Amino acid sequence: MMLIRSLTVAAFVSAMAAPAIAAGDLKKGETLLTRDCSRCHAVGASGASPRADAPAFRTLATRYPIEALEEALGEGIMSGHPDMPEFRYDADDVGAIIDYLKSIQPR
């Protein structure tokens, strides 16, 4: 009985802590994308991209799985058009960006 109570309390504490961590990651991901990408792309859950040819980030999941971006974000995103700068992020930043991108995809 004591083990079940301990496990229940541990699960509850974990569930309560996860949203706070996720919220911090979401804000970090949004901040990074706003800083680096919003000049051309719509990085939020709404709005148009400043450049008509730059896809809104909330539509990325219609093109490919969001997780597929992890490697490119860590090693340096290269695009098909020459005026896009190359961005490279550390592992924590990649995780935050992926979490944020997942959060803005239509359900």
**Side-chain-facing half-sphere of 30: CA atoms under 13 Å:** 11
Q: Region 74-99: what's the mean pLDDT? A: 85
Q: Taking the CB of residue 54, how many other CB atoms lie within 10 A of it?
A: 18
Tokens of 25: 């990651």
CATH topology of domain 2-104: Cytochrome Bc1 Complex; Chain D, domain 2 (1.10.760)
What tens digit of pLDDT does each residue of 49-79 get? Answer: 999 999 999 999 999 899 999 988 988 876 6
pTM of the model: 0.75
Residue 55: name the closest of 31, 26, 80, 22 by CA: 80
What tens digit of pLDDT does each residue of 13-62 get? Answer: 444 444 544 678 899 999 999 999 999 999 999 999 999 999 999 999 99
Q: What is the pLDDT of residue 12?
A: 42
